Chains A and B, each alone.
Chain A
């Protein structure tokens, strides 16, 4: 797979093809598999994503600690806010739904990771539903998301323990922004700008889950990550360009992650986890590993 998004964008432009087609053909060559085979795997991922969205919307799931669960259903049936009835609110609900399923040890697609698994299904299936976009285009979008994620994995990190939450929900937002931009008709160059615009908004984001549980704030970080992805999409589709090239934005995310204090890298030693209430909830709710 590509190591620089700029190279992929250049190749797609030169060949006059979509980034999805380029990503699928590159993956097929790299792995010695057919494009159809890869599309079929992505289609299965899409089905699991949809299943998680639906499962989480029911509102009956709770995590082992009881700290999270039931909030996705509130967005579906609760009182209206200023965004009621818009795709924006629907995307937020979907993001919470998938992440509530994840926190309850349900089945999700770790794309790119389990902690950031809500953003991609929320943004892609939410916008596809709003725009009556079919499954083939969704599978293409997942291929673009995979391309962007692969570049981030090569140049920076996709691990909260290595790079903080910017490497999980931040990377997910960047992937979703780029993928949805092409799904909605954006050019390869616009995909690059959408990716950069989303990622710049999450730079420095720490990974600070209460008691180390992938629950709080993780569930909500998927909602805010989705909102940032929507921002990147809306701006890029309107023709806004981000002046720092996307690969440099990815590089700096990796640099920030590498220099981030260990307290902010999934250790529950800092951030929200270290607030008085965060510590108290962790003490009260944390399921301890049993020695036996």
Chain B
């Protein structure tokens, strides 16, 4: 559902809501996948991002997002220079993803210590974004909620176990989606929650033997 305040907003650094603010949010989510500013980032730009990204400051916005700058942070203008001082080693490349990929799509590969991840996300316009892939799995994360995403073996009671951990930490579930490619195959869970779960919650979920991986993503929109 479209919110009136999504239309009259966001307050942001220019010049483009899709190519600057949306790009910044994709960077912020990629940052979450490694729990902080990555040491290395490879950013592949597709479609309009590739063709016009330089003019829209898309590179500065994604780099700024990776360093934790929000879309209304005036430091975005100088993000590439700041990145060099901050130890973010980045490389931008132009690429062509699938034919049906949204015109404003980026594939972001990030590394920080022993953590690494690959994320594909699109900027849909008016600053709205959608992450469509994490580590090769199809997902749908809009960044409008604090979100936990995880891949688990298809075992009985998995939803109940996760819900119990969240309840024990006093976290209210707003939306929960469970998808799997086949019976007995890996199940993918996207859990949107009202309050930001701590690292401890993620760690507890990761210790479940049937959980392959779990990420905690910040609310970056709305």
A residues touching B (Cβ–Cβ < 8 Å)?
Answer: 1, 23-24, 26-27, 30-31, 38, 41-42, 44-45, 48, 63-65, 101-115, 117, 120, 142-143, 145-147, 149-150, 153-154, 157-162, 167, 175, 209, 211-215, 218, 262, 265-269, 282, 286-292
Contact = CB atoms under 8 A, between A and B. Distances in A.
Query: Which of B2, B8, B53, B58 has most A Cβ within 10 Å?
Result: B8
B48 A109 contact: no
Contact of A214 (B3, B16, B93): B16
A143 B47 CA distance: 34
B54 A292 contact: no
B125 A113 contact: yes
A1 B4 contact: yes
Contacts of B53: 212, 289
A217 to B, nearest CB: 13
Contacts of A120: 8
A45 B126 contact: no
Interface string B1-13: 1111111111111
B8 A45 contact: yes
A154 B3 CA distance: 11
Interface in B54-85: 54-60, 72, 74, 76-77, 80
Nearest to B57: A105
Contact of B126 (A1, A48, A63, A153): A153
A291 B14 contact: no
Query: Which of A30, A103, A111 has most B Cβ within 10 Å?
Result: A111
A110 B54 contact: no
Contact of B127 (A110, A145, A265): A110
B17 A113 contact: yes
Given A30-B3, A143-B4, A209 B14 contact: no
Contacts, number: 196
Interface residues of B, number: 49
B11 A114 contact: no
Interface of B is mostly: mixed
B8 A109 contact: yes
A110 B92 contact: no
A215 B52 CA distance: 12
Nearest to A44: B11
Nearest to A212: B52
The 6 closest A-B pairs by CB, nearest first: A212-B52, A159-B125, A102-B14, A146-B4, A149-B7, A213-B55
6 contacts: A113-B17, A114-B14, A115-B17, A146-B5, A159-B18, A267-B51
A268 B51 CA distance: 8
A214 B55 contact: yes
Nearest to B49: A161
A39 B215 CA distance: 35
Given A115-B17, A149-B7, A159-B126, 19 more contacts: A23-B4, A27-B5, A42-B8, A102-B14, A105-B57, A106-B14, A107-B72, A111-B8, A114-B12, A117-B14, A143-B8, A146-B5, A150-B2, A154-B2, A161-B48, A214-B16, A267-B47, A289-B53, A290-B59
A267 B126 contact: no
A98 to B, nearest CB: 9
Query: Which of B16, B48, B124, B125 has most A Cβ within 10 Å?
Result: B16
B109 interface: no
A234 B125 CA distance: 30
B35 interface: no
B90 interface: yes
Nearest to B20: A114
Given A150-B7, A289-B92, A291-B91, A103 B52 contact: no
Nearest to A23: B4
Nearest to B84: A292
Contacts of B59: 289-290
Contacts of B20: 105, 114
Contact of B5 (A41, A262, A282, A286): A41
A30 B52 contact: no
A65 B52 CA distance: 14
Contacts of A266: 18, 48, 52, 103
